[in-house]
Structure 1
Amino acid sequence: MRVAFVGVGAMGMPMARLVMRRHPVTVFDPDSARTAELAAEGAGVAGSAAEAVRGADTAVVMVATPAQLEQALFGADGVHGGLAAHTTVVLMSSVGVDCVVDAGLRLEALGARVVDAPVTGGAVRAVTGELTVLAGAAPEVLDEVRPLLELMAARIAHCGDRVGDGQAVKLVNQLLCSVHLAAAGEALQFARALGLDPEQVLATIESGAASSFMLSDRGPRMLKDGTTPVRSAIDIFVKDSSLVLAAAREAGAVTPLTEQAAELFSRASHQGLGRDDDSSVIRMFQKEPH
């Protein structure tokens, strides 16, 4: 199987590496330093998304925002320019239901098959290949790319037969992640305010009923002194919580906790933390100036 990989950022790069172990991969990303790193490991490098997809059996797209997805797929020299009738496009970005449904219809009109396949598990599990894929696609289309997805993920959850069903489940996931991340920062700063050693508190509570992935994964980074390498930025949660709230309004769902978390991430971004690691949200609970 010839694979094109469009978008090799914090998540896409380790995912592409895993696919490269089994299949020939051609990558494209606007950041040439990233593609050069993968080229040194054996990947082909294309000058555009269209060039990367040309001749590929499957095109994986892993970008961060709806605007980036639009540009990657339908911009000048986008994926659309390299599609063949047999190409399957796997949309692994978390960009909301409406965005992916619209993209899917436009790609299918060009003859492509589409799998809606956002992931959860973060950069750590992207490296180990233990992501969870939340797939929305016709069963027969999903089955064709399942062996490829299994190189990147420990679990492939078929969330529904429609493009967009995976995104809908991802929104539920991101609602929880947003609230859990904010709660982890609030709790660990609360431990400090009580005069406790927050590292000891984290080690004590993360194995109990209060545990969450966000607490265990982000907690140690929250407690580090100095700059934390960016694995997932605050602005990603600004985007994701905004998508959740937009979908909630449309569905008539009541989401007060997400509203508070979204406001917190927005304030953090406006205070200059937007491109910092999302564990930096703990600073929003500190009394000293940010």
Structure 2
Amino acid sequence: MKVTFVGVGAMGLPMARHILRRFPVTVFDPDSARTAELAAQGATAAVSAAEAARGADVVVVMVATPAQLDRALFGDDGVHAGLPAGSTVILMSSVGTDCAADAGRRLEALGAKVVDAPVTGGASRAETGELTVLAGAAPDVLDGVRPVLNLVASRIALCGGRVGDGQAVKLVNQLLCSVHLAAAGEALQFARALGLDPVQVLAAIEPGAASSFMLSDRGPRMLSTDTPPVRSAVDIFVKDSSLVLAAARKSGAVTPLAEQAAALFARAGDQGLGRHDDSSVIRMFQKEPH
């Protein structure tokens, strides 16, 4: 099985590395340094998404935004220009239901099969190959690409038979993640305000009922005296929160906590933290500007 991987950033690069251990992989990313790193490990680097897609059985796309997905798939020298009929495109980007469904229709019109497969678990689980895939696809189409997905994920959840169903579940996931991340920052800064050592507080509460993945994963970075490496940028939550709120408005859902979290991330972005690690959202709870 020949695999193409488009978009090898903080999430995509380790995912492509895992796939490369079993299948031949051709990679494309606008940042040639990233593809060079994978080429040194045995991948084939392409100069365009179209070139990367030629001859592929499976094309994985892992980019950050709806605009990037549209450009990667349908822009000049995009995947569409090299996509073989009968191949399967796995959309692993978190781009919202409408964007994924539209991309799916356009790809299917080109003769491709499509799996809507956003992931959760962050860069840490991308590194270990233990992501969760939230899949929207016909079961037989999903089964055809399980050998690829099993290399990057410890769990594949079939969320529905339509392209877009995986995205819908990812929106629910991101609502929770954004609220949990904001709550973690608020709680640790609250501990400081009470005169407590937040490192000790984190150690005390992290094993208990008040814990969350966001508290366990981001808490130590929030409290680090060093600038944390960017594992997931604030801008990702700005984007994902906007997708959540757009879907909430469309569906009539009441989401006050999501609205508060979205406003918090938007403010962090406005204050120049957009490209910083998302753990830096704790600064929004500090009285002194940073």
Same fold (TM over 0.5): yes
1:172 paired to 2:172: yes
Tell me the equivalent position of 2:42: 42
Task: Render the CA deviation track for 1:198-225: whole Å, top value 9, x for unaligned.
Answer: 1111111111110100000000000001
Alignment partner of 1:115: what SS?
strand
Secondary structure in 1 aligned to 2:94? coil
1:250 match: 250
Give the AA of the match of 1:282: I
3-state SS, counterpart of residue 275 of structure 1: coil
Q: Which runs of 5+ in 2 are unaligned?
A: none
Provide the residue aligned with 1:80 in structure 2. 80
Query: Aligned residue for 1:161?
Result: 161
Shift of 1:26: 0.4
TM-score, L = length of structure 1: 0.99
Give the Cα separation in 2 of the matches to 1:277 and 1:20.
28
1:270 aligns with 2:275: no
- TM-score with structure 2 setting the length: 0.99
**What is the rounded CA distance, in whole Å, between the counterparts of 1:168 and 1:28 in structure 2?**
27
Q: What residue ranges of structure 1 are gaps of 5+ in the alignment?
A: none
**Residue type at the aligned position of 2:46:** A
Tell me the equivalent position of 1:137: 137
Q: What is the RMSD of the two structures over their aligned residues, measured on CA atoms? A: 0.5
Match of 2:150 in 1: 150
What is the CA distance between 1:226 and its match in structure 2? 2.6
User: Aligned AA for 2:154?
Assistant: A
Within 5 Å, which residues of 2 pair with 1:7-26? Answer: 7-26=7-26
* Equivalent residue, structure 2, for 1:288: 288
Percent identity (aligned): 82
Confirm or deny that 1:214 pairs with 2:214: yes
Q: Which amino acid aligns with 1:98?
A: D
Q: Indicate the residue corresponding to 2:5 in structure 1.
A: 5
Render the CA deviation track for 1:142-197: whole Å, top value 9, x for unaligned: 00001110000000000000000000000000000000000000000000111111
**CA distance in structure 2 between the aligned counterparts of 1:17 and 1:67, rounded to whole angstroms:** 25
Separation (CA, whole Å) in 1 of partners of 2:84 and 2:274: 38
Structure 1's consecutive aligned runs of 4 or more residues displaced over 4 angstroms after TM superposition are: none
Equivalent residue of 2:158, what SS? Answer: strand
In structure 1, C-alpha distance between the alignment counterparts of 2:109 and 2:150, rounded to whole Å: 28
Tell me the amino acid that sits aligned with residue 9 of structure 1: G
1:263-284: CA deviations, max 9, x gaps? Answer: 0000000000000000000001
Supply the distance in 1 between the matched residues of 2:181 and 2:20 (Cα, whole angstroms). Answer: 32
Following TM superposition, by how much is the alpha carbon of 1:9 offset from its aligned partner in structure 2, in angstroms? 0.2
Q: What code does the residue aligned with 2:12 have?
A: G
SS of structure 2 residue aligned to 1:188? helix
SS at match of 2:239: helix
3-state SS of paired residue (2:266): helix
Look up the match of 1:196: 196
Residue deviations 1:25-52, cap 9 Å, x none? 0000000110111111111000000100
